[in-house]
């Protein structure tokens, strides 16, 4: 029996529908959420992602604030826009699209953001809160992965999870999220220095491939019935290629394909972060009125 497809596109659409009512309630009390984006440079892929995020916002009633700078922008140009978004009351949450052009240090830019407006959950304060397991904005892709597994009833508690890739947006925070008591998975974080990746993969109940190496996870490396989520993004002949070989569906129990799996969930969790931040800001307003 081929794997059940973890359909991120359909799941994200369901989540957007759920968020629409919450956005309407906020808007009715004068707290309409607004997502800001800052795009630096003209990479067509980055532009596509940013445009997709704004069309998602339009669908659920979140206002859009779109800022752009040329690839020649300096760090101080970027910080100036960050300061403006921090100060703009219509912008309840925002993201700085990554990667930034060479020479502009992402960590310096992220550090300048107001953590209360950090829609990506990538501000050092929010990543610190994740480590400490106290409330804060959570990174969109890791939360999207957990949400996708939950909605398909893939067991997480007690599962052996192998994450391939230790990046700051996916692998490392995902390990932190899945090992919380509320998720209770056992996580092995593999990377380019892992001695025997195949041996780790073969034991996994859940595989999250976020290495950016096309075809890295082949069917011979997957335990029958395992859940395999493809988060790899590479471009091969102009098309998006994931880390997971197509024939993995023949042995896996669940497959989140790429495209159509985790990507749309990332965008849905971004909207969720914006709505949560706006709800928190509205609650503070009530308390201080």
Ligand X SMILES: Nc1nc(=O)c2c([nH]1)NC[C@@H]1CN(c3ccc(C(=O)N[C@@H](CCC(=O)O)C(=O)O)cc3)C=[N+]21
Residue 21 CB, nearest distance to ligand X (Å)?
23
Number of amino acids touching ligand X (CB under 6 A): 16
Minimum CB separation from ligand X for residue 89, in Å? 22
Q: Where are the alpha helices (DSSP H) in 63-206?
A: 75-87, 106-112, 124-132, 140-151, 171-178, 197-203
Cβ(152)–Cβ(163) below 8 Å: no
101 binds ligand X (CB under 6 A): no
- When the beta carbons of 184 and 235 are compared against ligand X, the nearer one is 235
Is 97 an active-site residue? yes
**Residues 239-278, interacting with ligand X (CB under 6 A):** 240, 258-260, 263-264, 266-267
CB 157 within 8 A of CB 185: yes
Catalytic residue among 7, 56, 118, 120: 120
**7, 56, 97, 117: which one is catalytic?**
97
Query: Could you say whether residue 98 binds ligand X (CB under 6 A)?
Result: yes
Q: Which of 230, 289, 270, 281 is closest to 64 using CA atoms?
A: 270
Q: Is 165 labelled a binding residue? A: yes
In order of 63, 93, 262, the CA distances from 60 in angstroms are: 9, 15, 20
Residue stretches of the annotated binding site for NADP(+): 165-167, 233
Binding region for ligand X (CB under 6 A): 49, 52, 95-98, 120, 140, 240, 258-260, 263-264, 266-267
Residue stretches of the annotated binding site: 165-167, 233
């Amino acid at each position: 029996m081929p794997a059940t497809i973890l359909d991120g596109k359909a799941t994200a659409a369901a989540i957007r529908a759920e968020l629409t009512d919450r956005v309407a309630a906020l808007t009715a009390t004068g707290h309409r959420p607004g997502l800001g984006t800052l795009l630096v440079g003209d990479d067509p892929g980055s532009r596509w992602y940013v445009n997709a995020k704004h069309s998602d916002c339009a669908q659920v009633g979140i206002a859009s604030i779109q800022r752009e700078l040329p690839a020649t922008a300096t760090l101080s140009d970027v910080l100036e826009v960050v300061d403006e978004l921090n100060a703009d009351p219509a912008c309840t949450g925002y993201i700085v699209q990554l990667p930034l052009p060479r020479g502009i240090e992402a960590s310096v830019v992220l550090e300048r953001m107001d953590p209360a407006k950090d829609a990506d959950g990538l501000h050092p304060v929010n990543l610190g809160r994740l480590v400490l397991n106290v409330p804060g904005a959570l990174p969109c892709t890791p939360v999207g992965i957990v949400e996708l597994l939950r909605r398909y009833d893939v067991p997480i508690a007690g599962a052996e999870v192998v994450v391939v890739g230790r990046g700051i947006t996916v692998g490392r925070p995902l390990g932190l999220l899945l090992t919380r008591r509320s998720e209770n998975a056992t996580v092995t974080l593999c990377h380019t220095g892992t001695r025997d990746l195949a041996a780790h993969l073969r034991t996994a109940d859940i595989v999250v491939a976020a290495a950016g190496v096309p075809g890295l996870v082949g069917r011979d490396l997957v335990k029958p019935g395992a859940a395999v989520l493809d988060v790899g993004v590479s471009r091969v002949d102009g098309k998006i290629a994931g880390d997971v070989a197509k024939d993995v569906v023949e042995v896996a129990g669940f497959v989140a394909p790429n495209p159509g799996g985790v990507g749309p969930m990332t965008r849905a969790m971004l909207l969720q972060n914006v709505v949560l931040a706006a709800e928190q800001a509205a609650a503070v307003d009530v308390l201080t009125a």
